[in-house]
Amino acid sequence: DKCGNLTIKYPFGSDFGCGHPDFSRYIKCTSGELRFSSGTGAYTVSNIDYTTSTLVLTDLFMSTCSSMQNSGSFRLDRASPFTLSSQDMFVLLGCSRTSPPIIDFGSGYGLDLPKLQCSSYASMYGFGGDETDPMKWQFGILLEYNDSYYTETCKDCEASGGFCGFAGFKESFSCICRGGGNSTTNCYGRVFRMAHVLKRGANKLKVFKRMNYTLFGVAYPLRILGNLHVLWGRGDVQVMGLKLLVILWGLYSIDSVTSHGDQPFSKISIHETVFALDDAAYVKASPLVLGLKGQTSEWLTLTLHNPKPSINDWIGVFSPANFSASTCTPESSMVAPPLLCTAPIKFQYANYSNPNYKDTGKASLKFRLINQRSDFSFALFTGGLSKPKLVAVSNSVVFASPNAPNYPRLAQGKAWNEMTVTWTSGYGIEEAEPFVEWGRKGEEKQHSPAATLTIDRKSLCGAPARTVGWRDPGFIHTGFLKELWPNSVYTYKLGHKLVNGSVIWSQVYQFKSSPYPGQNSLQRVIIFGDMGKDEVDGSNDYNNYQHGSLNTTKQLIGDLKNYDIVFHIGDICYANGGNHERDWPNSGSFYENNDSGGECGVLAETMFYVPAENRAKYSTDYGMFRFCIADTEHDWREGTEQYKFIEECFATVDRQKQPWLIFLAHRVLGYSSTSFYAVDGTFGEPMGRESLQKLWQKYKVDIAIYGHAHNYERTCPIFENTCTSNEKHTYKGSLNGTIHVVAGGGGASLTEFANINTTWSLVKDVDYGFLKLTAFDHSNLLFEYKKSSNGKVFDSFKISRDYKDILACTVDSCPTTTLAS
């Protein structure tokens, strides 16, 4: 087989189900390009040498002699079958003077540039036959792979005219024979036996000593990794007797940035601001115009000077650029005095990546901005967060097309064959008509009109959302794409027809439609909660409160082809550092607290479509799955409207067509060993399972999944605090109870478990991660919990059963037709 120009042989594979799974989870063929994925990103495989069992990775963001740029970190997963070659040479560039001295790191598994305080790296595995010409050097990362997977059995298979493969469900070697049929040995006699693979090797990475070198009269630290011998002198670096002038690149890594900020509404006393403008101070931002190539986000550089610097100086990002008292509205008087009417979008301390700032008063910062339909400015404050004094304000910067349609959000509609597209723009309905142009890939396209919504301050419930936290959200549009063919690829683009007849277009996107209810096909579902958001430029997150969200997002983006639908089960953004998008006193929520910061659910329900008739509870069908989603911010107890909805959702599913019945909710209505639930003595939301456990048991709900507690936990199949099975990883036949799972490790700060032995708890993990459910058919389901740091499976179980097991009937009393395997 081939992927692009590369020949693909076992143990590698070019498509789902091909190759050994120990390799296929890292190597995939995507759009004609072979890609290697690790916890630090995706890399192009430029070459595979099967005779030496090696492959070469190309990092598009790595610095070379012809391209100096800000690169990310690099890390190999400990359990992978890959190791670094002894030929690899790593050079770290742009290291800070304050980076900790290193004599010898010894062996390790990762190159963490932010931790090393270096901005980029270059990797080479050879000199191209000419050590004197850097342009001929072979840049890239050479990996060796464990060739024990290419066993004598595989060689015997190939000798018989077969192809080496792997039977995924049986987890065994498979010899694929020409003309049809598989064998566990070869294509001669079809003798069935198991092949064996040897243990994987470890990944070792060595970091040697830190040293300084001088460039243009300035001393800089340099770090060398791998088998690269370095002698250093003034003005150059000698590599194996050759002189190499190393050029610094001033950018820093966007990967795993350590932050110095805080959530704005939580710590910045914006109404205590004092105006102390200093003519000698300045802030300059460049470039002036962003997104000239249609980008919705872009990095910019900020240079600043404060003649009276302090360690508490900080830079706030404001949008719109004019944030003076002249822009205050009557609502601003709700919190007095109204010196500034808006909090910054985000901020960084001036000494972030500038350790000498307190001495020089000068600094250079990097910010990543997204198109928010208005201009931006940057303000320098002294006095820290509690007593801010405004010292200087920058020039304004703006995106080239601030009103353009951006940020499409797909969601399944109220019917299985309907997709909704929600997006944001700066065009009101009086200025332009929004629509979606869409159709099956390669076929004629059609237009569907879109509805337009927006909100104002008065739509919200209180401060800070209505005061300093208010920012115009733009216009939110939703189009409905109906009567879709199942499991088909569709393309679409967003359009706004202006009054003069011209159309503003977005780029072209695509999606795959849902399978029809009961369709027997491979179906893969991702579920997690409590993600939040973090800034890749290091802004705005003083306690690293939601830093894990970057890793979760990165893993999902890198594995897009291996899942079909995603459920986020609450606490999606933490706008003010609080806990919920919904809760606010007297707003109708079950919990009368201030967690939403005054948003009271308005923003979340406007920005994200859900197929709900009323409030936020809903059900949705996806192939062999039925999902019943509860709204835990409204009463769910017996006799309530929501209780009736949940029972109807359970009762109306045809388990012959949709055997996998899943219950989702944000707060833990089932079981959790999390510390704050243990203090309550309920090990779950108070009154949570008193009523619902009768429904879970009556309708034989397979799995109940929650967020809210920022960790991972899985119970045994359970009913009324008693395990109904002693199995842990393989369930066959009837469960006789429901498996409860907490998956609240999407990205927000983690929550510890109580030091109490809860007998129903099988697996616990205080780490970031997400769930993946894979339905192979009507009888076999795989559950996996994966780490956000590396995508590796930490916990898993399988359910294998027939339709009669769901009914808990005997063979004689079951319906005549089942979907049992």
How distant is the alpha carbon of residue 798 from its chain centre? 25
Whether residues 33 and 94 share a domain: the answer is yes
* Contact between residue 563 and residue 526 where contact means Cβ atoms under 8 Å apart: yes
The C-alpha atoms of residue 181 and residue 339 are separated, in whole angstroms, by 77
SS3 per-residue string spanning 679-706: HHCCCCCCCCHHHHHHHHHHCCCCEEEE
The lowest-confidence range among 55-64, 786-795, 797-806 is 55-64
The C-alpha atoms of residue 227 and residue 205 are separated, in whole angstroms, by 10
CA quadruple 607, 611, 616, 617: dihedral, nearest 10: -160
The lowest-confidence range among 328-332, 398-402, 582-586, 751-755 is 582-586
Determine the pLDDT at residue 170.
Answer: 47
pLDDT band for position 793 (50/70/90)? very high
Is residue 216's pLDDT more than 80? no
Q: What is the domain count for the chain?
A: 4
**Domain membership flag for residue 637:** yes
Is residue 261's pLDDT more than 60? no
How distant is the alpha carbon of residue 437 from its chain centre? 28
User: What percent of the chain lies above the pLDDT cut of 70?
Assistant: 74
Give 304-326 pLDDT, tens digit per residue: 999 999 998 999 999 988 876 66
Whether residues 448 and 485 share a domain: the answer is yes
Q: Which of 211, 244, 277 is the last residue of a domain?
A: 244
Is residue 240's pLDDT more than 50? no
**Domain membership flag for residue 110:** yes
Residue scoring higher pLDDT (378 or 106)? 378
Whether residues 98 and 19 share a domain: the answer is yes
Give 673-721 pLDDT, tens digit per residue: 998 888 777 888 877 898 899 999 999 999 999 999 999 999 999 999 9
Q: Which of 399, 417, 433 is the last residue of a domain?
A: 399
Q: What is the mean pLDDT of residues 554-575?
A: 88
The residue type found at 324 is: S
Query: Mind giving me the DSSP string for 309-366?
Result: --TT-EEEEESSS--SGGG--GGGGGSS--S-SS--SEEEETTTT-TTHHHH-EEEEE
Whether residues 360 and 437 share a domain: the answer is no
Is residue 373's pLDDT more than 70? yes
The C-alpha atoms of residue 537 and residue 254 are separated, in whole angstroms, by 6
DSSP secondary structure code for residue 135 in this structure: G
Query: Mind giving me the DSSP string for 23-76?
Result: HHTTEEEETTEEEEEETTEEEEEEEEETTTTEEEEE-TT---SS-------EE-
How distant is the alpha carbon of residue 195 from its chain centre? 37
Determine the pLDDT at residue 597.
Answer: 56
CA quadruple 284, 289, 294, 295: dihedral, nearest 10: 10
Whether residues 381 and 419 share a domain: the answer is no
- Range ranked top by mean pLDDT from 120-124, 216-220, 674-678: 674-678
The residue type found at 722 is: T
Residue scoring higher pLDDT (6 or 609)? 6
The C-alpha atoms of residue 109 and residue 74 are separated, in whole angstroms, by 9
Determine the pLDDT at residue 221.
Answer: 29
Determine the pLDDT at residue 222.
Answer: 29
Give 170-208 pLDDT, tens digit per residue: 456 778 776 666 777 777 654 333 223 223 333 333 333
Give 655-668 pLDDT, tens digit per residue: 999 999 999 999 99
pLDDT band for position 519 (50/70/90)? very high
Whether residues 273 and 357 share a domain: the answer is yes
Q: What is the mean pLDDT of residues 760-777?
A: 96
Whether residues 116 and 41 share a domain: the answer is yes
Q: Which of 399, 424, 444 is the last residue of a domain?
A: 399
**Domain membership flag for residue 432:** yes
**Domain membership flag for residue 581:** no
Determine the pLDDT at residue 97.
Answer: 65
**Domain membership flag for residue 444:** yes
Whether residues 32 and 86 share a domain: the answer is yes
CB atoms within 10 A of CB 427: 21
| 3-class secondary structure, 742 | strand
Whether residues 620 and 722 share a domain: the answer is yes
pLDDT band for position 339 (50/70/90)? low
Q: Return mean pLDDT, the chain.
A: 78
CB atoms within 10 A of CB 459: 15
pLDDT band for position 614 (50/70/90)? low
Whether residues 290 and 314 share a domain: the answer is yes
* Contact between residue 555 and residue 786 where contact means Cβ atoms under 8 Å apart: yes
Determine the pLDDT at residue 328.
Answer: 63
Enclosing H/E stretch for 716: strand 712-719
| 3-class secondary structure, 539 | coil
CA quadruple 186, 187, 192, 198: dihedral, nearest 10: 20
**Domain membership flag for residue 259:** no
Determine the pLDDT at residue 357.
Answer: 94
Within 13 Å of residue 716, how many CA atoms lie on the same side as its CB? 17
The C-alpha atoms of residue 303 and residue 258 are separated, in whole angstroms, by 20
The lowest-confidence range among 207-221, 267-281, 739-753 is 207-221
| 3-class secondary structure, 131 | coil
Give 275-295 pLDDT, tens digit per residue: 788 999 999 999 999 999 999
Hey, which bits of 482-599 come out as E strands? 489-498, 503-505, 509-512, 523-528, 565-568
Read off the CATH number of the domain in which 390 is found: 2.60.40
The C-alpha atoms of residue 249 and residue 235 are separated, in whole angstroms, by 16
Whether residues 486 and 505 share a domain: the answer is yes
Give 62-82 pLDDT, tens digit per residue: 776 666 565 667 878 766 788
The C-alpha atoms of residue 424 and residue 413 are separated, in whole angstroms, by 18
**Domain membership flag for residue 506:** yes
Q: Which residue has the tokens 């403008």?
A: 277
Residue scoring higher pLDDT (819 or 568)? 568
The C-alpha atoms of residue 551 and residue 746 are separated, in whole angstroms, by 9
**Domain membership flag for residue 597:** no
Read off the CATH number of the domain in which 818 is found: 3.60.21.10
CA quadruple 203, 208, 212, 215: dihedral, nearest 10: -40
Read off the CATH number of the domain in which 463 is found: 2.60.40.380
The C-alpha atoms of residue 726 and residue 714 are separated, in whole angstroms, by 14
Q: What is the mean pLDDT of residues 45-55?
A: 91
183 bridge partner residues: 175
Q: What is the mean pLDDT of residues 544-565?
A: 86
Determine the pLDDT at residue 66.
Answer: 60
Furthest-apart CA atoms within the chain: distance in Å: 91
pTM assigned to the model? 0.65
The C-alpha atoms of residue 143 and residue 32 are separated, in whole angstroms, by 21
In which domain, by residue range, is 491 found? 403-514
Rounded to 10 deg, the angle between the 689-698 and 641-651 helix axes is 20
Whether residues 348 and 476 share a domain: the answer is no
Q: What is the mean pLDDT of residues 595-616?
A: 68
